[in-house]
């Protein structure tokens, strides 16, 4: 990457609170902005669209208190009892509908096996296939814009599972996370590499900058990781999510790297996905054998939870993919705001 495109640390500053998208998010954001008590939103949460803009933004804002926080919001609000009560209500609405909607499989092995075989016609409904074959530069920029909500904190949600594992699963998980965090080199932290990709594409690299552009479908994919990560009871689901990401990453990253080369993106943009093709091909085997295998050897009763984590990850990714492709094929932006 040239000196002219060098980026500063994306998380140097906390982002500003976003604009509300309904009564739930307005209540949460107003309480944080004005320093007041959390409103009683439990009844509204129970009736809200679990995949809608309002609930997903409210949940995203509350989860971000556990990551980078917000400018002018005291750090102490992270554990505000009233906000935690609201978050619980939002989580229960989201989790309940996920358990009802996500296709069930009997075991984690069955769910993992399903990831290794792409069904006939899958490339017609795959964002990475579309971008490799027909994607335009503006579509790749939109894709990076939405993925920045996760990739600028890549590996952080999964790190929450480490103190909840032991033995073989813990050792393998730490080994993979070590790679994700740059193997001891700050310049190789994957979140940093994604910021450099964004700079190559002419995008703003500040953490959380594009929250206003992200539709509910994108927020839900990030919220799922935070939901699983913040609850010890959902540790199996978080391991399932992690497995789904690592197993599907190499082929998808290969296609995205090819798409970036085809449209003439810079070397830093290409490097992010090239790195994932190489690293995640190794990680895939370690995840299957040692992280998932180690966890289920120690705690076999978590098998269904791991399977749910895998299946729910695919379910929400498919919803986001459908949103992107529907808009792009009509020649319009998939972002809420340009």
Domains of the chain: which residue ranges? Answer: 16-101, 108-329
The number of angstroms, rounded, from the C-alpha of 227 to the middle of its chain's C-alpha atoms is 11
pLDDT band at 239 (very low <50, low <70, confident <90, very high): very high
Mean pLDDT for 14-35 is: 97
CA atoms within 13 A on the CB side of 66: 20
> What pLDDT, on the 0 to 100 scale, is given for residue 4?
40
Position 2 scores a pLDDT of 42
Rounded CA separation 302/165 (Å): 12
Q: What is the distance between the alpha carbons of residues 198 and 191, in angstroms, rounded to a whole number?
A: 11
Residue 183's region, left for phi above 0, alpha for psi from -120 to 50, else beta, is: left
Could you read off the pLDDT of 127-148 as tens digits, one per residue?
A: 999 999 999 999 999 999 999 9
Would residue 206 be called left, alpha or beta, if left means φ above 0 and alpha means ψ between -120 and 50 degrees? beta
Q: DSSP 3-state assignment of 173?
A: helix
pTM: 0.94
Q: Which residue has the tokens 């599907």?
A: 248
Asked if residue 279 has pLDDT above 80, the reply is no
Length of the chain: 338
The pLDDT of residue 3: 38
pLDDT number for residue 284: 86
The stretches of the chain forming alpha helices (DSSP H) are 23-34, 42-47, 53-64, 81-101, 108-115, 127-133, 137-151, 156-159, 167-180, 190-200, 216-229, 235-262, 267-286, 293-298, 303-329
Sign of CA dihedral 276, 282, 285, 286: negative
pLDDT band at 126 (very low <50, low <70, confident <90, very high): very high
CA distances from 177 to 53, 151, 162, 281, 333 (A): 31, 14, 9, 14, 34
| % of the chain surpassing 70 pLDDT | 95
Mean pLDDT (the chain) is 93
Would you state the structure tokens that stand for residue 144, as one six-digit string?
Answer: 């990076």
Q: CA 179, CA 170: separation in Å to the nearest integer? A: 15
Packing angle between helix 235-262 and helix 108-115, nearest 10 degrees?
Answer: 0
Q: Which CATH number fits domain 108-329: 3.40.50.450, 3.40.50.2300, 1.20.910.10, 1.10.268.10?
A: 1.20.910.10
Instruction: Answer yes or no: is pLDDT of 281 > 90.
Output: no
**Are 17 and 61 in contact, with CB atoms under 8 Å apart?**
yes
Q: Which residue has the higher pLDDT, 3 or 200?
A: 200
Q: Which of 198, 196, 150, 190 is nearest to 278 (CA)?
A: 190
The token duo for 252 is 């998808």
- Beta carbons of 62 and 19 less than 8 angstroms apart: no
Residue that has been written with the tokens 């992690």 in this structure: 242
Higher pLDDT, 9 or 196: 196
For residue 120, the model assigns a pLDDT of 46
* Res 216: pLDDT: 98
Sign of CA dihedral 95, 97, 98, 100: positive
Tokens of 82: 């009233």
CA distance 21 to 107: 38
pLDDT of residue 118: 64
**How much is the pLDDT for 266?**
87
CA atoms of 39 and 82, how far apart (whole Å): 8
Q: What is the pLDDT of residue 160?
A: 98
pLDDT band, residue 122 (cuts 50/70/90)? low
Query: 240 and 111 in contact (C-beta within 8 Å)?
Result: yes
pLDDT band at residue 86 using 50, 70 and 90 as cut-offs: very high
| Average pLDDT estimate for 167-174 | 97
Q: Residue 228 corresponds to which tokens in the numbers above?
A: 């699983």
């Amino acid at each position: 990457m040239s000196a002219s495109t060098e980026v500063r640390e994306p998380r140097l500053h906390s982002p500003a609170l976003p604009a509300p998208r309904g009564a739930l998010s307005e209540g949460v954001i107003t309480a944080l902005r004005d320093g007041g008590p959390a409103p009683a939103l439990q009844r509204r949460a129970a009736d809200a669209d679990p995949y809608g803009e309002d609930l997903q933004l409210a949940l995203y804002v509350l989860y971000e208190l556990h990551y980078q926080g917000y400018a002018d919001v005291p750090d102490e609000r992270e554990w505000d009892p009233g906000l935690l009560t609201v978050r619980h209500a939002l989580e229960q609405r989201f989790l309940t509908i996920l358990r009802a909607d996500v296709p069930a499989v009997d075991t984690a092995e069955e769910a993992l096996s399903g990831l290794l075989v792409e069904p006939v016609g899958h490339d017609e409904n795959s964002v990475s296939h579309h971008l490799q074959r027909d994607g335009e530069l503006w579509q790749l920029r939109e894709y990076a814009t939405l993925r920045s909500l996760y990739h600028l904190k890549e590996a952080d949600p999964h790190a929450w599972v480490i103190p909840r594992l032991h033995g073989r699963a813990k050792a393998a998980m730490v080994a993979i996370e070590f790679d994700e965090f740059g193997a001891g080199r700050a310049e190789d932290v994957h979140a940093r590499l994604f910021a450099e990709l964004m700079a190559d594409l002419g995008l703003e690299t500040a953490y959380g900058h594009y929250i206003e552009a992200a539709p509910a479908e994108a927020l839900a994919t990030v919220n799922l990781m935070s939901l699983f990560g913040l609850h010890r009871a959902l540790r199996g689901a978080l391991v399932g999510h992690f497995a789904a990401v690592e197993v599907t990453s190499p082929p998808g990253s290969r296609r995205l790297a090819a798409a970036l080369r085809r449209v003439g993106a810079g070397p830093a943009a290409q490097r992010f996905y090239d790195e994932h093709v190489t690293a995640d091909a190794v990680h895939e085997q370690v995840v299957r054998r040692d992280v998932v295998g180690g966890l289920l050897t120690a705690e076999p009763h978590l098998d269904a939870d791991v399977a749910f984590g895998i299946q729910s990850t695919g379910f929400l990714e498919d919803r986001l993919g459908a949103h992107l492709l529907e808009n792009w094929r009509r020649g319009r932006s998939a972002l809420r705001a340009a």
